[in-house]
Amino acid sequence: MNIGYRIAEMRKRKKLSQQELADKLFVSDKTISSWEANRTEPSLAFVAKMSEVFDCNISYLVYGEIERNDIETEIRFKLTEKEYKELELFFKNNATVLGENKQLDTYFQPTFRNFINQEKIQNKEEIKEWLRIGKRGNKVILNYKYWHINYCDEYEVEIDNKENLTKIFTALGLEELICVDKERKTYCYLDKYEIALDFTKDLGYFIEIEVKKYSKNVLKEYDALLKVAKDLHLNLDLIDNRGYPYLLIEQKYNNME
């Protein structure tokens, strides 16, 4: 199966005609027909919009079942406000705007198995696991990540009742760690990378660059990711993938000392 087949498959599952899908994407029905016949291929920006219409993962449309859709390759940098504004202007002029939203993520861990604690923070240990409930507009997503060296396994599912899930976590002995409150602006860059410009409450400004189209193995994609960051004049020595919850908890413990 190819991307054209999967677009047609998901369109039919949603009981949409080619014209109805075209209307939602502000393109012609001939464009949809061309994509489904694999005469042309949609840009990542259109793939992202279709994933919202179809309510499926971007990676499913691009790769299908034979490729992993539970892997994430990204890097993050802390920015000054000046750097943030310069990059925001650059991406407005050189990338496709995907959206802007407010995100609220609540992180949990089992009381019998610490993902993170004060001792790990003090010893600057790498945190390999996160479990969170995240609000994305009208959607609520349960997400688990396990980090390897240059990528992470990622599994997520949409839920319809955050309050009840939180009660279940409490009943099962999961404790709430921290809440991350951020404003995110997202762009598609070079038809391959998703750029997130974040302002995170109590932490400041950040940029995340994530691979959304894999054409090489993970390690080669990571090397290509580093080159993109370098071309954006980001200092590779300042990569910080510890995650917002780690940074907030570190800040909390440092303030207690």
**How many CA atoms, within 13 angstroms, populate the side-chain half-sphere of residue 172?**
12
Q: Which two tokens stand for residue 205?
A: 């400004």
Digit-coded pLDDT (tens) for 49-77? 898 888 877 777 876 643 445 678 899 99
In angstroms, the CA 30 to CA 36 distance is 10
Which helix H or strand E contains 81, and what residues bound it?
helix 81-94
Look at residue 27 and tell me whether its pLDDT is greater than 90: yes
pLDDT band with cut points at 50, 70 and 90 for residue 114: confident
Cα 224 to Cα 35, 73, 78, 96, 227: the distances in Å are: 27, 11, 20, 20, 5
From 20-34, 120-134, 188-202, 235-249, the region with the lowest mean pLDDT: 120-134
Task: List CB contacts of 13: < 8 A, sequence separation 6 or more.
Answer: 54
Higher pLDDT, 86 or 220: 86
Plot region of 233 (φ>0 → left; ψ -120 to 50 → alpha; else → beta): left
Look at residue 127 and tell me whether its pLDDT is greater than 60: yes
In angstroms, the CA 202 to CA 4 distance is 44
The answer to whether the beta carbons of residues 145 and 151 sit under 8 Å apart is no
User: Which residues make beta-bridge pairs with 234?
Assistant: none
Residue whose token pair is 């001792």: 119
In angstroms, the CA 102 to CA 110 distance is 27
Higher pLDDT, 122 or 97: 97
Look at residue 236 and tell me whether its pLDDT is greater than 60: yes
The SS3 call for residue 47 is helix
Find the mean pLDDT for residues 20-46. Answer: 92
Give the domain ranges of the chain. Answer: 3-66, 71-256
pLDDT band with cut points at 50, 70 and 90 for residue 171: very high
Mean pLDDT, the chain, whole residue set: 88
Q: Which two tokens stand for residue 193?
A: 């990378």
DSSP state of 165: H
CATH of the domain spanning 3-66: 1.10.260.40
pLDDT of residue 254: 81
The SS3 call for residue 217 is coil
Q: pTM above the 0.95 mark?
A: no
CATH of the domain spanning 71-256: 2.40.320.10
Look at residue 257 and tell me whether its pLDDT is greater than 70: no
